[in-house]
Amino acid sequence: MSESPEKKIDTLVEDLNHHLYLYYILSKPEISDAEYDRRYKELEKLETEYPEFKRSDSPTTRVGAPPLDAFESQEHRIPMLSLDNAMNAEELEAFYDRVERFLEKEADYKEAFTFCSEYKFDGVAVSLHYENGEFVRALTRGDGMRGEVITENIKTLRSVPLRLKEIAPPFLEVRGEVLFRKDDFEEFNRKRAEQGEEAFANPRNAASGSLRQLDSSITAKRPLYFYGYGIGAHEGADLPGTHYELMQLISKAGFLVSPLLEKTHDKKELVKVYQKSEQRRESLPFEVDGVVIKLNDLRLSDVLGLKQRSPRYAIAAKFAAAEENTRLLDIKIQVGRTGALTPVAVLEPVQVGGVTVSRATLHNEDEITRKDIRIGDTVVVRRQGDVIPAVVAPVSSLRDGTEKVYIFPDTCPECGSKVVRPEGEAVARCPNLKCPAKMLQRIIHFASRNALDIEGLGTKVIQTLVEKDIICSFADLYRMKPEQISGLEGFGELSAKNLTEAITASKETSLARFIFALGIRHVGERTAKILAQHAGNIETFRTLSEDELLSLREIGPEIASAITSYLGDEEESELLTDLLSFGFTFESETSAGEGEKVLDGLTFVITGTLPDLSRNEAKDLVESAGGRVSSSVSKKTDYLLAGENAGSKLEKAQSAGVKIIDQGEFYELLGL
């Protein structure tokens, strides 16, 4: 007899939850994402057929619920307090002495003087409620007494178990922080900026903004993680006597906890842990702003009790701030490849989190206006890990009246041309084709790996060649003689010859790479591929009309108009003719109509490290089989090809129900 649907659903839910746990908590997946996806789809299908058997802890409940009109609020059974801070080793030692004095009278002196240290996450505090082991509710910290009910939002976090492992007391509140990991944050912000949306100042704001969504399907798309750091209210739970054991229990119950969890027995050791963990701070995947040090013995912690808003048994030993104040000396404009004018803050050098910062991004004109940043202002500068330093805000209370409102230039600082900023666009651009700054960036792009991939022609060399007036455009590269290069710094006769040979070799390329190399606005690699496939040769490409472009898949009005304005520009056209006069040969392009291919019409996203293929190689394979490669996961993605250390894209694909495959399955699709 075959298994009942109910049993099948039960088995699948447990199996999938187990694999989510292996993936998100232990980072040790045992099945491929494609296999996970297959089982997920099977569960989804069964649940649609037999909704009466759908379980509340089913992974399919994590995609978000209908939007709310407002959040309800609820009182915390036990207030969520804050912590006192120790800003340096002396203050930490003072805390130690304080606790010692308080506990002198207590027995069991040895255990009393064990402290447990863990990271202080720089995220958003939340409280999770479990009834009989089942996740039922989540609250924000709110004012510490009442929080907002954000159950549906929290349910979308894969690192929050919907059912506790190993324990199931009648009631248990797990407290912790929700955060954005640093790399996810960078990628997320980059995408927002690309789409003209306001960037988040830091991962904490991004986490907080994501949790505040009334529409939990938006939260579901954000790569949020939860880390547990303690227990709040509980009923009928058999809890251990020390904080260290409590953290082990939380971990066993299925949560992520601080990777630093260290017991220390004396003052010196404690200070050492604090100082050492500060050094490890940069290498962590998430932001921390200190360590939280808690008395290990929970009974004695109770004896120590609370002050007004904070407990006596714990302290937050803070690290040097990732934000510092400094003076904004000037604003410089950088001109990019497409002529985009980007404002860069010139700062009085300041140490931020251990690194000297003298420049920071200001994003664009609107950000300067919106934040009312003036030259001469004291500004808050922020950096952390790999995050690009940014000016967060001015400290307007410190103004003395000498600050100057910055007037964004209406001419290009490099070539003096009048800049253009079309209505509705955030970015002003220099329209001059011959602008040296713009051309420099265009040449760098032209020679780059995914464009013509000219070996030995990196940014530094190009800068020198432009500075020495050896080249003014990418066409000039093909006019260059080895003698012109061999005298330059870092070059000898042989290296000069190698470079000119590499340049000559670049004339044999694919039409797609060539179109991409031209650096036409909005024409990324994928669009270049589509254009090359459609046109088939460069002459046809040059005659494409707006209507024809609009008839192509994935080419919308914005891209079409950028291409036609490029093609219609007399100077660009002259430059292109000049370039082509050097005799490029293009590998034959497969035209879209040339017979069925295995991946025809399928869109792939590639993420993580594949065992044997570089991303470019995988991409070439997809494209030569008729598929497309996109850089971000959307509803239109057919497959996510995921390797090791896949990050937010994987999550996104999972929540969007995109099929996830590994390299082996990819080969199978290709029939290899």
- Residues 413, 416, 418, 420, CA torsion sign: negative
Could you give the CA distance from residue 342 to residue 283 in angstroms, rounded to a whole number?
Answer: 30
DSSP three-state, residue 436: helix
Amino acid at 657: G
Tokens of 574: 């002259």
Of 226 and 406, the one with the shorter C-beta distance to ligand IVH is 226
Locate tokens 């996970």: which residue? 36
| CB closer to ligand IVH out of 256 and 517 | 256
Looking at the Cβ atoms of 95 and 229, the one nearer to ligand IVH is: 229
> Measured at CB, which residue is nearest to ligand IVH?
125
Nearer residue to ligand IVH within complex by CB, 295 or 515? 295
CA distance 513 to 529: 8
> Which tokens hold the place of 661?
């495959």
Given the complex with ligand IVH, which of 29 and 123 has the nearer CB atom?
A: 123
We find the least distance from the C-beta atom of residue 516 to ligand IVH, in angstroms, to be: 45
For 300-338, b where at least 16 C-beta lie within 10 A, e where not — what string?
bbebbeeeeeebbbbbbbbbeebbbbbbbeebebebbbb
- The smaller minimum CB distance to ligand IVH, of residues 245 and 366, is found at 245
Name the DSSP class of 198. Answer: P
User: Closest Cα to residue 281, out of 215, 182, 191?
Assistant: 182
Concatenating the DSSP letter of every residue in 255-277 gives -EE-S-EEEE-SHHHHHHHHHHH
Alpha carbon distance 283, 306 (integer Å) = 34
Tell me the closest approach of the beta carbon of residue 292 to ligand IVH, in angstroms. 4
128/328 with CB nearer ligand IVH:
128
Consecutive H or E run containing 8? helix 5-20
Could you give phi then psi for residue 40, rounded to 5 degrees? Answer: -60, -45
CA distance 96 to 251: 27
Residue 644 phi/psi, 5-degree rounding, is -70, 155
Residue number with CB closer to ligand IVH (292 or 599): 292
Compute the distance between CA of residue 481 and CA of residue 479 in angstroms, rounded to an integer: 7
Decide whether 23 or 115 has the Cβ nearer to ligand IVH: 115
Q: How many CB atoms lie within 10 A of CB 351?
A: 12
Q: Which of 255, 296, 298 has the alpha carbon at shortest distance from 127?
A: 255
What are the tokens at 270? Answer: 């404690």
Q: Judged by CB, which is closer to ligand IVH: 250, or 562?
A: 250
Alpha carbon distance 291, 378 (integer Å) = 29
Q: Which residues contact ligand IVH (rule: CB under 6 A)?
A: 81-83, 118-121, 125, 141, 177, 229-230, 258, 292, 311, 314, 316
Question: Least distance (Å) from ligand IVH to the CB of residue 277?
Answer: 12
Residues marked active site are found at 120
Answer yes or no: are the C-beta atoms of 186 and 386 closer than 8 Å. yes
Residue with smaller CB distance to ligand IVH, 311 or 339? 311
At 21, the amino acid letter reads: Y
- Between CA 610 and CA 213 the distance in angstroms is 35
Q: Minimal distance in Å, beta carbon 268 to ligand IVH?
A: 22
Burial class (CB in 10 A: 0-12, 13-18, 19+), 436: middle
Contact at 8 Å (CB) between 193 and 363?
yes
Specify the residue for token string 């009085």.
348
Tell me which residue of 563, 447, 465 sits closest to 505, measured CA to CA.
Answer: 447
Q: Kindly state the smallest distance separating residue 316's Cβ from ligand IVH, in Å.
A: 6
Residues 162/57, Cβ–Cβ less than 8 Å: yes
CB of 177 to ligand IVH, least distance (A): 5
Amino acid in the structure at residue 99? V
Asked if residue 492 lies in contact with residue 439, where contact means CB atoms within 8 angstroms, the answer is no
3-state DSSP helix/strand/coil % of the chain, to nearest 5: 40, 25, 35
CA nearest neighbour of 666 among 189, 33, 17: 33
